[in-house]
Amino acid sequence: MTLKPVCYDDNQHKGYREGRALDPEQMAQWAEVFAAEAPLARPLDVLDLGSGVGRFTPLLAETFGGRAWGVEPSAKMRALADAHAAHQRVAYLEGSGEAIPLPDASVDLVLMFLSFHHMPDRATAAAEIARVLKPGGRVLLRSVFSDRMPELDWHRYFPRARAVEMQMFPTLGEAEQAFATTGFRTLSLHTVEERFAPTLREHARRLRLRAVSTFEHLSEAEIQEGFARLDTALETEAAERPVRALADLLVLGRA
Ligand SMILES: C[S@@+](CC[C@H](N)C(=O)[O-])C[C@H]1O[C@@H](n2cnc3c(N)ncnc32)[C@H](O)[C@@H]1O
């Protein structure tokens, strides 16, 4: 069964800012990881492809000192970015991975943070990225890969979520192959240990905002059962324990 594409204008935009907010420690961690993998020159112009509400776009302008474009197909996600993630060197543009509204060879770095798996035509997206990237540029692909699926805490309470995500995300080989056809090769693959939430209780509070597209593929009954299991866990487990997860970042460049 193929999963139907998720349109963030329908539901996902509603709780995204709060449900997926990153604290300063998480932002600093990602800025450090991105900077370690970017070309050395400064300033760098950056494309945040599938930028959503602009969680990372101002950070990219600040970290690399150049302009940052957030390209995003959902009008409601873009409106939230314009309202809450404005920056003097950032512009949010309507577009998609398959149709990037930027000139040829105009950016030094492309970030896709949990957006590549939403692109229906990954080969066309890879060709578009190749078109807009300058020589020597880099692609940072933060994704889950279905053959390297990490243990995620919330999957314990929503057991079908893992099976859904196995369908939702490409394998590492499939992602690499989409880029190989346009001359990209893998430069490195990092696994970052991310602090997802300071406590299980806080993790549960954010999950209730349903700002995870996997929820769009679960039935209401499955979701309610999952939250009931999570409530039991909060009573019986250490509700104050931090929730951590391993996050993959694939770095690609052209030979
Ligand atoms: C999980 S959100 C990630 C947003 C942002 N990168 C972040 O980390 O907060 C996935 C985003 O990908 C966007 N998206 C969906 N289809 C896309 C496509 N074909 N091209 C680019 N982005 C797409 C969605 O609208 C959504 O904003």
Distance 35 CA to ligand 1 centre (A): 22
Judging by DSSP bridges, how do beta strands 90-94 and 133-143 pair with one another? Answer: unpaired
Q: In order along the chain (255 residues), what is the average pLDDT of each group of 10 residues?
A: 89 96 95 97 98 98 98 98 98 98 98 97 97 97 97 94 97 97 96 93 96 97 97 87 95 90
Distance 235 CA to ligand 1 centre (A): 35
Instruction: State the Cα–Cα distance between residues 233 and 236, nearest whole angstrom.
Output: 5
Distance 84 CA to ligand 1 centre (A): 17
Distance 81 CA to ligand 1 centre (A): 12
If one residue of 118, 140, 196 were mutated to test the ligand 1 pocket, choosing by the most ligand atoms within 8 A of its CB, it would be 118
Are 128 and 95 in contact by the 8 Å Cβ rule? The answer is no
**Closest by CA position to 3, among listed 170, 126, 210:** 170
**Closest by CA position to 245, among listed 155, 126, 133:** 155
Distance 117 CA to ligand 1 centre (A): 9
Distance 115 CA to ligand 1 centre (A): 4
Are 137 and 110 in contact by the 8 Å Cβ rule? The answer is yes
**Closest by CA position to 130, among listed 143, 139, 142, 121:** 139
Instruction: State the Cα–Cα distance between residues 167 and 117, nearest whole angstrom.
Output: 10
Query: Residue of the nearest CA to atom 13 in ligand 1?
Result: 50
- The whole-model pTM stands at 0.97
Query: Residue of the nearest CA to atom 10 in ligand 1?
Result: 115
Token duo for residue 246: 């391993």
Enumerate domains of the chain plus CATH numbers. 12-149+170-196+246-254 (3.40.50.150)
Instruction: State the Cα–Cα distance between residues 187 and 36, nearest whole angstrom.
Output: 12
Pocket of ligand 1 (CB under 6 A): 8, 20, 49-52, 55-56, 72-74, 77, 96-98, 113-115, 118-119
Q: What is the pLDDT of residue 240?
A: 87
Write the CA distances from 82 to 23, 40, 227, integer angstroms: 20, 29, 33
Q: What is the pLDDT of residue 1?
A: 56
Are 86 and 53 in contact by the 8 Å Cβ rule? The answer is no
If one residue of 115, 168, 210 were mutated to test the ligand 1 pocket, choosing by the most ligand atoms within 8 A of its CB, it would be 115
